[in-house]
Structure 1
């Protein structure tokens, strides 16, 4: 099962030195297959995105993504972009740039739309209780979604324990994505 590490300003900080140090340590510790630089509020987003891309280049096979910004992802030469559920119209342009596209989904309709528009993978959330993310869908709903789709699905939302990871693995999801699990 694939592991998808998602950064947060709270843990990784906003200075290049701290960000580089913490990201490098977490990649070494957890050995994710995918990593996402996600920081919606940082005015130095582009600077830290460049640091993120540089750190990722040091790990063979690690697929690295920027949040929301396909143009910057393309410019920095990372693997792809992780779009929000409000960015469906950007899937095809990101694909034309040669980027691997992951998009956030929260409903069956969104997941099937992402699949139809050619996204490479989706996150489906929230699976477990997660702060400010609404009612958890649960593992049974995840299994139902997996039965009706063929796109790669990363379970997301409230995944913080090894027991939860094992439940996701049993569901046959492609992988799991988390912020807090990778602290």
Structure 2
């Protein structure tokens, strides 16, 4: 047997050396014992909790449609999240504006709940205050969500460069999969 008849195999996830195989043999997705165990646990666990950040946009409703579809087919629960942006001022006009925004957030939640009930789905819901993208990431991590379904901003390239995108921030700052239906 020639040493050139064999080639080394490494785990496709962690890169750990697994062993050697014949040069002609093919392995599509080699895994070490640890990574194989993790994969099995992930497959068993599946998706059981879906987070849907909502606002008054049409893209938010598209995201809610996708979440309802996933929820029904995967047997997952849906939680609606509305984030009320809070600035660091304490004037009376700010208090009035905050109350108005809280009322608007509650209206958004009620619309989304009614939409879900038309589709025979009963979602949970939560309204929080803070910076939108940061609060979405914190809430998803704290409550162990398996999937985040959210609308993309649709602001356009220039506005997104200047102000940033909530969906872009969430995608880049969480390990939870994020789906943004178009």
Between 1 and 2, higher relative CO (CA 8 Å, sep ≥ 6) is seen in 2
Say which one has the larger Rg.
2
Q: Say whether the fold is shared (TM-score over 0.5).
A: no
TM-score for the superposition, normalised by structure 1: 0.30
